[in-house]
Structure 1
Amino acid sequence: MPGVIAVVGHHDLTAPTPALLEEELRSRPAGRARAGRAGLVRAGQGLPVACGRAARAAGPALVTVLPARRGLPAHVAEPDRKTAGELLLSQTVRLVEYDPADRASCITADESLVRSCGRLPAVWDGSPSNGRDATAHLVAYARSHGVDVEVVGPCGAEHRGGPPATAPARPATARGTAKSPKSGTFTEKRIPT
């Protein structure tokens, strides 16, 4: 659907990063609100709630995706319950069959969201997908399905990924032009385990 904007990105954001993303995203959808666009987020903490708050502040409709089993709402994991509750204040809730505890199931759900959108802001540092993070896969998936991808990364944004990636130059959008975040780059922060 060309009027829907889905957002994907790293799920292991450091504490200050969601606020930075919210501020960055707040300015981006403002012009799209007049065009009747809607924001689409999968319920959870971090990136989804930052996107939901930005969408509400800028005016476009917000669609919150909840996990479902056999057509009924499914259990939302403890860390995501509070933010899922905040996101349920959105105008629309969409149930999608997936298990939030199963990585493959979440990726399949995210792929279905990507296929249903016309534009995909991606909070991504350019690193490849790994056993925990599928952001690079979702960006490639979107591009292969003709979805316009815009990489978002405000200055100071960090995530707790593994070893720092030697990120290539900013990835190109689906139209082939290089897009770099206006306000800075997204960095990876090593957190000792």
Structure 2
Amino acid sequence: MIAVVGHPDLTVPTLALLEEELRSRLAGRARAGRAGLVRAGRGLPVAFGRAAHKAGLALVTVLPSRGGMPGHVAGPDRDAAGELLLLSRMVRLVEYDPADRASCIIADEALVRSCARVLAVWDGSPSNGRDATAHLVAYARSHGVDVEVLWPRGAEHRTVPSAKAPGARGLTGRFPRTTD
């Protein structure tokens, strides 16, 4: 299983750049029978899901749950979760509260432990009050999980995310037209 982690505030051009980079990296792993694992949300998870689909890699989407039943996915992430579900071959329910940062980090740590490899979309910056990417990279490495860091030339993220910034919501739920 291959998981993806990364900055939550990637710019729209960066997400488009990453989708192609991820597709090319995942193509060989699809032939090896691997699967991709992503926690439902906008931005990087959708780029990863689209890339996995184009590469022929099975996708597993993680949804929040409460008491074994699917939990609430907040408005901005709802469309993205819907697209990921359409792209997925399997859904995994995990107990966590998407509104609680600590709960999300605990869920991400459990997902990382369940994988053989983590693709980390990370510029090398330290974790802060919003972005736990550095923590998850260190966590994966400390648990013997292979980590592959991706930060393509031209990639950017906002250090202070703003809801008013153009494209601040990143990739959301529009299912792309495919030619295959």
Common fold by TM > 0.5: yes
Deviations 1:67-99 (A, max 9, x none): 001110000011111111000011100000000
**Which structure 2 residues correspond to residues 5-24 of structure 1 after superposition, within 5 A?**
5-24=2-21
**Aligned residue in 1 for 2:63:** 66
Q: Distance between the aligned counterparts of 1:10 and 1:25, measured in 2?
A: 15
2:178 aligns to what?
none
Residues matched between the structures, number:
160
Q: Which runs of 5+ in 1 are unaligned?
A: 163-190
Deviation at 1:132, TM superposition (A): 0.4
Between the aligned partners of 2:64 and 2:156, the Cα distance in structure 1 is 27
1:144 maps to 142
More helix by share: 2
Deviations 1:170-191 (A, max 9, x none): xxxxxxxxxxxxxxxxxxxxx8
Within 5 Å, give how 1:96-175 maps onto structure 2. Answer: 96-162=94-160
Superposed structure 1 runs of 4+ greater than 6 Å apart:
none
Aligned to 1:84: 81
**Deviation of 1:156 (Å):** 1.6
Higher relative contact order (CA 8 A, sep 6+): 2
Letter in 2 for 1:44: G
Give the partner amino acid of 2:89: Q
Q: Distance in 2 between matches of 1:85 and 1:122?
A: 23
User: What is the DSSP-based 3-state SS (H/G/I as helix, E as strand, rest coil) of the residue aligned with 2:12?
Assistant: coil
User: Is 2:55 aligned against 1:47?
Assistant: no
Matched with 2:29 is 32
State the 1:34 CA deviation. Answer: 1.4
- Give me the whole-angstrom Cα distance separating, in 2, the residues matched to 1:28 and 1:63: 17
TM-score (norm 1): 0.81
Paired letter, 2:142: S
**SS class of match (1:158):** coil
C-alpha distance in 2, partners of 1:102/1:71? 18
Distance 1:156 1:46 in 2: 17
CA RMSD, 1 decimal? 0.9
Could you state the TM-score of these two structures normalised by the residue count of structure 2? Answer: 0.87
